[in-house]
A = this chain, B = another copy of it.
Amino acid sequence: MSLLVQKFGGTSVANPDRIRAVAARVLRTQQEGHEVVVVVSAMGDTTDDLIALARQVAEQPSDRELDLLLSTGETVSCTLMAMAFRAMGQEAVALTGAQAGIITDNSHRRARIVAVDPQRVTQELEKGRTVIVAGFQGITDGSDITTLGRGGSDTTAVALAAGLHADRCEIYTDVDGVFTADPRVEPRARKLDEISYEEMLELAKLGARVMHPRAVELGEAYHLPIVVRSSFNDNLGTLITGGKQMEYRRKVRGIAHDPDVAKITVVGIKDRPGVASKIFVPLADAGVNVDVIVQGTAVDGVAHLSFTVSKDDLGKAVSLIKNLLGEIGAQTVLSSPGLAKVSIVGTGIQYTPGYAARMFQVLGDHNINIEGITTSDIRITCLIDQSRVQEAVQALHEAFILDQPVT
């Protein structure tokens, strides 16, 4: 008998009917001989509604109280799910993150899991009960309730699966799995049957919203197989895993894109040690997430530094840097909204000559200007104009023959 952790997102548990449908689905899996622990997100828009409610009381609600408030969303959905199981004749028990042993640090709103102590989960499983755990939440060693921030329920599921030594973690969502590109942008995109943790990480970071990168990282750290699949059909989904076969397959595995980023360029920086931290530490303190960073080589001791931020953070970032110009000895700051990132991802493409060149050539053939380039071991990313993103994704998808199954 294998042990599975199955996570269902907010769309999958948005109302009582869907909750019952999920319970029925899990029951079928159990009847096939699997033990199942279910992790749920809050129903539909509950989290947003609770934040709106808090803002009616206080403009800037305190993080500790907001966490306790938001945690009720997943507590509600996990209790309803347990009730649905019992109504179908299956003994079930709902556990909060605290009861399931999800121990976190005390960084409210974005807590990190420091330990999983799933003793209660194990005891309940031994009694033959289906265990339903509230995702997204944990408890500190001081008994305060925390939430895990973005991707929180995925992270709960993977951490719990690791703590329970489960055979795999299944992330149920509203898409069929991981695709070679976003199917809304490239209709010929194919679902991948398998992908490596690293590739998935890059795809996730680059805007493939199937699964949050931190949950992928956690899966990789514990060698835990993760399956991403649809909660609305029985298709097999995509298996995220490690393994030797990775080296042998076709190198470009998918095209990722993020259609809405902004570029900031700090012009004429005096090239001396410590300048970068003087820019990026204040940005981090202000909660601005910086992505692609490109620093040109200094000429005559003066360099330009470019980086991307989400469109929402552009105004805050620019005004922050304007205040820093004197201190960092820079001339001015420029910003361009309306950009997009497009990336090719695949294990080993950096070690295989020709992939970057081919990517640039494809974009050039379509007369798409490249406004910045960054690379990682398994990824090449170009910044391009937002209006050209669909054309770029489709052209790269075709050029790297992603519309045909791997043989």
**A-side interface residues toward B, CB under 8 Å?**
16, 19-20, 50, 53-54, 56-62, 64-66, 68-69, 71-72, 75-76, 78-80, 82-84, 86-87, 93-94, 96, 98-99, 120, 143-145
Chain B residues near A20 (CB-CB < 8 A):
57
Nearest neighbor of A132 in chain B, beta-carbon distance: B65
What is the CA–CA distance of A93 and B63 in the complex, to the nearest angstrom?
11
Taking CB atoms, residues of chain B closer than 8 Å to A76 are 50, 53, 69, 72
Q: Pick the contact of A143 from B50, B69, B75, B120 — CB < 8 Å? A: B120
By beta carbon, the residue of chain B nearest A145 is B96
Across the A-B interface, give the 10 residue pairs with the lowest CB-CB distance, nearest first. Answer: A58-B87, A72-B72, A16-B56, A58-B83, A69-B79, A65-B79, A61-B83, A65-B82, A16-B57, A57-B80
Q: Which residues on B sit within 8 Å (CB–CB) of A84? A: 57-58
Q: Are B62 and A86 neighbours in the complex by a CB distance under 8 Å?
A: yes
A83 to B63, CA, bound (A): 10
CA distance A324 to B75 in the complex (A): 43
Q: Which residues of B contact A98 (CB under 8 A)?
A: 143
Q: Which residues of B contact A99 (CB under 8 A)?
A: 143-144
| Interface pair B50/A65, CB less than 8 Å apart | no
Q: Is the interface of A mostly helix, strand, loop or mixed?
A: helix
Residues on B with C-beta less than 8 A from A53 are 16, 76, 80
* Distance between Cα atoms of A50 and B57 in the complex (Å): 22
Known: A19-B57, A93-B64, A143-B120. A80 touches B86 (CB 8 A): no
**What CA separation (Å) do A50 and B72 show in the bound complex?**
12
The residues of B that contact A66 with a CB separation of less than 8 Å are 79, 83
Find the residue from A71, A78, A80, A120 having the highest chain B CB count within 10 A: A80
Q: How far is the CB of A359 from chain B (nearest CB, A)?
A: 49
Residues in B neighbouring A93, C-beta threshold 8 A: 64-65
A56, A57, A62, A99 — most chain B CB neighbours (10 Å): A57
Q: In the bound complex, do residue A79 and residue B68 qualify as a contact, i.e. CB atoms below 8 Å apart?
A: yes
Give the CA-CA distance A144 to B75 in the complex, in Å: 13
Question: What separation, in Å, do the CA atoms of A54 and B64 have in the docked complex?
Answer: 28
In the bound complex, what is the Cα–Cα distance between A125 and B372 (angstroms)? 55
Give the distance to chain B from A65, nearest Cβ to Cβ, in Å: 4
- Report yes or no: A68 in contact with B61, Cβ–Cβ below 8 A: no
The residue in chain B whose Cβ has the minimal distance to the Cβ of A87 is: B58
Within 8 Å by CB of A82, from B62, B75, B96, B144, lies B62
Contacts A53-B16, A143-B120 given; indicate if A87 touches B59 (C-beta within 8 A): yes
In the assembled complex, the Cα of A120 lies from the Cα of B64 at a distance in Å of: 15
Asked if A65 and B87 sit within 8 Å, CB to CB, the answer is no
Task: Check B72 against A54 for contact (C-beta < 8 Å).
Answer: no
Question: Can you list 22 contacts pairing A with B, beta carbon distance less than 8 Å?
Answer: A50-B76, A57-B80, A57-B83, A58-B87, A59-B87, A60-B87, A61-B83, A65-B80, A65-B82, A65-B94, A66-B83, A68-B79, A68-B94, A69-B75, A69-B79, A69-B80, A71-B75, A72-B76, A75-B75, A96-B145, A98-B143, A99-B143
Supplied contacts A68-B78, A96-B145, 5 more A-B pairs, CB within 8 Å: A16-B53, A16-B57, A58-B84, A61-B86, A68-B75
